[in-house]
Structures are given as structure tokens and as C-alpha cells.
């Protein structure tokens, strides 16, 4: 089980037909997004040529003038990451369809700027992490240590760096939790 965005999602282990299954997951994501009003031409889900390799899965779509994006990279294979991506989007879209969640809340959940990847890279650099660090506990530990040091009430505190610290933490938290 993987816990993402407050949902527990059963992870899968794909041993064969990974490229075909990746295509199925991509088509499933498109179908789910279309159910909430996203135009198929406004959906971009890049497929890896070899779906069994370790790679991030991502989806970008546009709705009501907003760019929305979601990616996942915590599983061992691209196809498995794409499955988790599909399940998260499916759960959230079904909440909109059942009117448990408003479309505005859905948009807020996934809305991101086009330069989000650069911001994530800068956030990892700010924390002194490797560029591919995905363990939020490691990042959170560094955040807490730096927060104690940089807090404006501390003798060596720095209000500007403390603000940057919180922004970096929020950026990575949104990606990894």
C-alpha cells in the first residue's frame, strides 16, 4: 500500500507486458480526466519506451485555464509509477463526479506552474539533498534542523532564508506526500 494525498493505494508489481500495461494506464487516465470535462487534446502523458525501467511517470492537463500536473517516482518501475498516478487521479476525479469534492478543489489540488521541475530541483539543492531524493523523511529531517537554525527568533536567524526554507519544504511536500 502507498499513501498519497490522503488515499491508500494498492501498488502493483508488473512482471510482463509492461509497455502494453503502461499504455492501458495512460488511456485510463485520459478516460477519467475526460469524465470531468478535460479535453483529450489538453492531456499530455509521456510514455517511456521501456516501461520496466526506473523512471518518473507524469501527467499534465489543462482545465478552466489552469495547468495541472501530477507525477510519481516512488515505485521501482515506470509502469508501476504510472499505475499509482492513474489511481490518484481516478480517486480525485471520482470525488468530483460524486460531488464530494468541488471542481475548484480538484484544480487547487493539482494546479502547478510550468517551471515546477526547476523549483523542485532548487528546493533539493537548498536542503543539500541529491537531485533524485524522494524520501520525504530525509527532507523533513533536514527541514527541521535548518528551521531551528534559521528561525528569526534565533541568534543566527535569517528571516529571508527561513521563508525560502518553508517554500522549499512546501514544494517538495506537495510532490512527495
* pLDDT class of 177 with cuts at 50, 70, 90: low
Percent of the chain beyond pLDDT 90?
A: 46
Domain boundary among 56, 77, 110: 110
Judgement on whether residues 101 and 121 belong to the same structural domain of the protein? no
Per-residue pLDDT tens over the stretch 46-97: 999 888 888 889 999 999 888 898 888 888 889 999 999 999 999 999 999 9
pLDDT at position 35, please?
95
pLDDT at position 65, please?
87
Mean per-residue pLDDT over the chain, rounded: 88
Measured CA to CA, the distance from residue 89 to residue 49 in angstroms comes to 23
Judgement on whether residues 93 and 7 belong to the same structural domain of the protein? yes
Residue 125: domain span: 116-176
Per-residue pLDDT tens over the stretch 3-30: 777 778 877 777 778 899 999 999 999 9
Judgement on whether residues 88 and 14 belong to the same structural domain of the protein? yes
Judgement on whether residues 63 and 93 belong to the same structural domain of the protein? yes
pLDDT at 107 over 70: yes
SS3 for 122-173, per residue?
HHHHHHCCCCCCCCHHHHHHHHHHHHHHHCCCCCCCCHHHHHHHHHHHHHHH
Judgement on whether residues 156 and 78 belong to the same structural domain of the protein? no
Put simply, whether the predicted model's pTM sits higher than 0.85 gets the answer: no
Judgement on whether residues 127 and 100 belong to the same structural domain of the protein? no
How many domains would you assign to the chain?
Answer: 2
CB count in 10 Å sphere of residue 67: 15
pLDDT at 122 over 70: yes
Measured CA to CA, the distance from residue 36 to residue 129 in angstroms comes to 38
Judgement on whether residues 126 and 67 belong to the same structural domain of the protein? no
- CA separation (Å) from 168 to 49, 69, 97, 138, 145? 32, 18, 33, 14, 14
Judgement on whether residues 15 and 101 belong to the same structural domain of the protein? yes
Judgement on whether residues 75 and 10 belong to the same structural domain of the protein? yes
Judgement on whether residues 50 and 95 belong to the same structural domain of the protein? yes
Q: Could you list the beta-strand ranges (E) of 15-147.
A: 43-44, 57-63, 66-72
CA distance between the termini of the chain: 14
Amino acid at each position: 500500500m502507498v499513501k498519497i494525498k490522503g488515499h491508500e493505494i494498492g501498488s502493483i508489481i508488473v512482471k510482463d507486458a509492461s509497455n502494453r500495461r503502461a499504455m492501458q494506464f495512460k488511456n485510463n487516465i485520459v478516460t477519467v480526466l475526460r469524465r470531468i470535462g478535460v479535453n483529450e487534446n489538453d492531456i499530455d502523458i509521456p510514455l517511456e519506451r521501456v516501461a520496466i525501467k526506473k523512471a518518473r511517470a507524469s501527467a499534465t492537463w489543462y482545465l478552466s485555464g489552469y495547468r495541472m500536473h501530477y507525477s510519481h517516482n516512488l515505485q521501482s518501475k515506470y509502469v508501476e509509477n504510472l499505475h499509482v498516478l492513474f489511481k490518484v487521479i481516478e480517486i480525485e476525479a471520482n470525488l468530483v463526479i460524486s460531488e464530494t469534492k468541488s471542481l475548484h478543489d480538484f484544480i487547487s489540488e493539482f494546479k502547478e506552474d510550468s517551471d515546477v521541475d526547476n523549483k523542485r530541483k532548487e528546493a533539493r539543492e537548498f536542503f543539500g539533498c541529491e537531485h533524485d531524493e524522494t524520501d520525504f523523511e530525509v527532507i523533513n529531517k533536514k527541514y527541521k534542523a535548518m528551521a531551528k537554525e534559521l528561525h528569526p527568533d534565533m541568534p543566527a536567524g535569517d528571516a529571508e532564508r527561513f521563508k525560502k526554507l518553508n517554500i522549499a519544504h512546501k514544494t517538495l511536500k506537495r510532490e512527495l506526500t
